[in-house]
Amino acid sequence: MRVRARGLTFDVRVGGPEGGAVVLLLHGFPQHGGEWDEVVPALHAAGLRSYALDQRGYPPDARPAEVAAYRLPELVADAVAVLDELGVDAAHVVGHDWGAIVAWALAAQHPERVRTLTAVSVPHPAAFGYALATDRGQRARSSYIALFRRAGLAEEVLLTRRATVLRRLLAGIGDPARVARYVEPMRVPGALTAALNWYRAMSGRDMKAVGPVTVPTTYVWSDRDFAIGRTAAQACARHVPGDYRFVVLSGVTHWIPDRAPGPLAEAILARVRGAA
């Protein structure tokens, strides 16, 4: 379905029984709402209604040109506005990668709209900031961000030779067909720039504004994640003063929804049921 909110038109993948408790699914870079396709069947079987949102910059009709339009407060406001348009007062929120950052901020700033939070791969922004400041390994893992913030250069590097470097970035997904499913939309003119604008609009001020999260929360991390190390993952607990669970998936890459949809669905359902 398509949802008009804040002057933009978002694509939303809908599934599960009507009337079921709502799960809002937020994807990461450089994917789209289809990254949840292998996760949602278990959620639907448990009676949940899922809405997988293609976030700002990814649908052609939700692609502002200005970098400032991709600041974190704008991304959070989109999620709130989409919930409003769907008539959903509060949802179980699940986010992966950049979607996790949006989910953390949504839960911290609008706890009345979030019944539970399941953050996947990326920890609370304060935990990530702590790791960047104290862990040389995390700084090395995050070095790619400097390239992504370079307008023009990043697009050239990632898309040259049929997007060879972008395909390598996603190689941990394993399935070439699934990799292509994410890469091909990024080859459309303007699409990768919009997705990279999330990085270019990123600011320490916006990240520091994300306070503690008080809603029931699960953080799912994989020990073969190239982007997030153990220091950041273990620091996450400090920023969730309430009900918190830390789930570690062994031998799984950063691309958890693609590589471990079953264990991820189990973690989501355990969180949802635990808060019932």
CB 257 within 8 A of CB 250: no
Please provide the average confidence, as pLDDT, over all residues in the chain.
97
> Does the pLDDT value for residue 146 go beyond 80?
yes
How sure is the predictor about 271, in pLDDT bands with cuts at 50, 70 and 90? very high
Tell me what pLDDT residue 221 has.
Answer: 98
> Does the pLDDT value for residue 276 go beyond 90?
no
Which of 129, 100, 140, 144 shows the shortest CA–CA distance to 232? 129
Token pair listed for 108: 């911290």
* Mean pLDDT to the nearest integer, 155-181: 96
How sure is the predictor about 274, in pLDDT bands with cuts at 50, 70 and 90? confident
Q: What is the 3-state secondary structure (H, E, C) of the chain?
A: CEEEECCEEEEEEEECCCCCCEEEEECCCCCCHHHHCCCHHHHHHCCCEEEEECCCCCCHHHCCCCHHHHCHHHHHHHHHHHHHHHCCCCEEEEEECHHHHHHHHHHHHCHHHEEEEEEECCCCHHHHHHHHHHCHHHHHHCCHHHHHCCCCHHHHHHHHHHHHHHHHHCHHHCCHHHHHHHHHHHCCCCHHHHHHHHHHCCCHHHHHCCCCCCCCEEEEEEEECCCCCHHHHHHHHHHCCCCEEEEEEEEEECCHHHHCHHHHHHHHHHHHHHCC
* 246-268 pLDDT per residue, tens: 999 999 999 999 999 999 999 99
Tell me what pLDDT residue 57 has.
Answer: 98
* Mean pLDDT to the nearest integer, 74-85: 98
CA distance 67 to 201: 6
CA distance 191 to 155: 10
Tell me what pLDDT residue 234 has.
Answer: 98
Tell me what pLDDT residue 58 has.
Answer: 98
* 17-28 pLDDT per residue, tens: 999 999 999 999
* Mean pLDDT to the nearest integer, 79-88: 98
* Mean pLDDT to the nearest integer, 150-162: 97
**Complete domains list, the chain, with CATH:** 2-274 (3.40.50.1820)
* Mean pLDDT to the nearest integer, 212-240: 98
* 222-232 pLDDT per residue, tens: 999 999 999 99
Angle between helices 98-109 and 125-134 (to 10 degrees): 120
**Tokens 């789930």 appear where?**
247
* Mean pLDDT to the nearest integer, 230-253: 97
